[in-house]
Amino acid sequence: MPDERDILDERDDDARDDAGLSRRLQRVLVIQQKVTRRLNAIASVWNAPGPPDAPRLLADLISEAQAAIAVAEDLQRQTRS
C-alpha cells in the first residue's frame, strides 16, 4: 500500500522503464488519495457561509480527484500486466 515515503521518493521522476513508471504512478496515486482525504474532511465539516456555489465546487474537486485515482490505478494495473 502506498505511503508518505512514496510521495517524497523522487528517484524515478525521469524513469522510462516499466518499473520506474509503475513507481511514478504509485506516487501519483498516493498524492491523489491524500488530496481526496483532505477534500472529504473539508466537505464533512463545511458549515461556513460562503459563495453559494462553494459546496458544488468542492464536490466537483472530490469527483475529479477520485477520477484521477481511478486512472492511476488503471495505469498501474496495465504496467503490471
Instruction: Name the residue ranges covered by the structural domains of the chain.
Output: 4-80
More confident position, 76 or 69 = 69
pLDDT band at 12 (very low <50, low <70, confident <90, very high): low
Q: Which of 35, 26, 21 is nearest to 8 (CA)?
A: 26
Asked whether the beta carbons of 25 and 72 are under 8 A apart, the reply is yes
CA dist., res. 48 & res. 11, Å (int): 42
- Residue 25: predicted pLDDT: 80
- Residue 20: predicted pLDDT: 76
What distance lies between CA 80 and its chain's CA centroid?
A: 19
Q: b vs e for 16-33, b when ≥16 Cβ sit within 10 Å of the residue's Cβ?
A: eeeeebbbbbbbbbbbbb
In this prediction the pTM is 0.60
